[in-house]
Amino acid sequence: MKFAVIQFPGASCDLDLYHAVTDVLGEQAEYVHHQETDLSAYDAILLPGGASYGDAVRAGALARTAPVMEGIIGAAKDGKPVLGVGNGFQVLTEAGLLPGAFLKNRDQKFVCRSVKVQVVNSRTMFTSEYTEGEELDIPIAHGEGNFYCDEETYSKLKENNQIVFVYSDGNPNGSVGDIAGLISEKGNVLGMMPHPERAAESILGSEDGLNVFKSIVKEWRESHANQA
C-alpha cells in the first residue's frame, strides 16, 4: 500500500506519519509537496499535524487554499482513505470534507499531553482493528482543538455514527460532545485531534495509535482481494 504524506509549509508532524507508516507498519510512503495536484498514484492520503502556514488567519485556513487540496478532495471523492491528524483535521473541516469548525481551546492555552480516548465506532476503515468501547492512550498537542458544530449537526453526527473517538477522561479543549475524531458521511475521511503516529510504538510510551494505520491497510487489502 502506498501512502501520500502531505507537506504543508509549517506543518511539523509529516516525519512522524512517514515513520509510523514505513518503519513501524512496513508500508510504502512518499512526501508530497503542497504544490502537487495529482495524487492518483497513492492509495491513502495523510494530512499531518503542526501549524501549517503558521496558523495565520486561523488553523488550517490557508492550507485549504494550497494546490494539493485539489488532489485531496479528488481522492476523497474517489473513496480513498484520507486521514487528517491535528492540524490536518482542521484543514479537512476548512475544506468542507468534514463538518464543523475549530475554536481556541476552552482554557485559551496550548495543551500537549497524553489523553484517554474511547473508540465509539469500530465499524470504519480506520478503526476495524479496535473493539468498540476500547480506551486508548494517545497524545494531543494543539491550541485550537475545540471542535464546534451546531446542535443540528451534532445530532446528525450521532445519528449517522460519524463520531469515532471521544475524550473519555476529561475534555481537554471544550469540544462539543467530547469529540476527538469523526468521519465523513461516506466513511472514508477521518479527522482526529489525538496523534496516533505518536503512539505507534512502545518506545513512545504507547502503541495504541498503531491500529488506525493497520485498519487502513486491512481495508485496502480486503478491497483489493475482492476485486481480484
CA distance 83 to 183: 9
The answer to whether 183 and 192 have CB atoms below 8 angstroms apart is no
How far is CA 96 from each of CA 31, 76, 189, 191, rounded to the nearest angstrom? 23, 11, 11, 12
Instruction: Classify 196 as helix, strand or coil.
Output: helix
pLDDT surpassing 90 at residue 167: yes
CB atoms within 10 A of CB 122: 17
pLDDT digits (tens, 9 = 90+) for 63-83: 999 999 999 999 999 999 999
Grid cell of 223 as nine digits: 478491497
pLDDT surpassing 70 at residue 47: yes
Instruction: Classify 167 as helix, strand or coil.
Output: strand
pLDDT surpassing 80 at residue 228: no
The answer to whether 165 and 180 have CB atoms below 8 angstroms apart is yes
List the CATH code of the domain at 2-226. Answer: 3.40.50.880
C-alpha angle 69/72/74, rounded to 5°?
Answer: 110
The answer to whether 87 and 60 have CB atoms below 8 angstroms apart is yes
Can 185 be counted among the known catalytic residues?
Answer: no
Mean pLDDT in residue range 136-163: 98
pLDDT surpassing 90 at residue 148: yes
**Which pLDDT does position 191 carry in this prediction?**
98
- Catalytic residue (one of 129, 142, 144, 195): 195
**Which pLDDT does position 103 carry in this prediction?**
97
CB atoms within 10 A of CB 96: 9
Share of the chain above pLDDT 70, in %: 100
Map grid coordinates 493497520 to a residue: 214
pLDDT digits (tens, 9 = 90+) for 199-219: 999 999 999 999 999 999 999
Q: Of residues 59 and 17, which shows the higher confidence score? A: 17
**Which pLDDT does position 222 carry in this prediction?**
93
Q: Please, where are the H alpha helices in 134-209? A: 151-159
pLDDT surpassing 90 at residue 224: no
Can 219 be counted among the known catalytic residues?
Answer: no
pLDDT surpassing 80 at residue 5: yes
Mean pLDDT in residue range 103-121: 97
Average pLDDT, rounded, for the chain: 97
Instruction: Classify 139 as helix, strand or coil.
Output: strand
- Catalytic residue (one of 27, 94, 129, 197): 197
**Which pLDDT does position 81 carry in this prediction?**
98
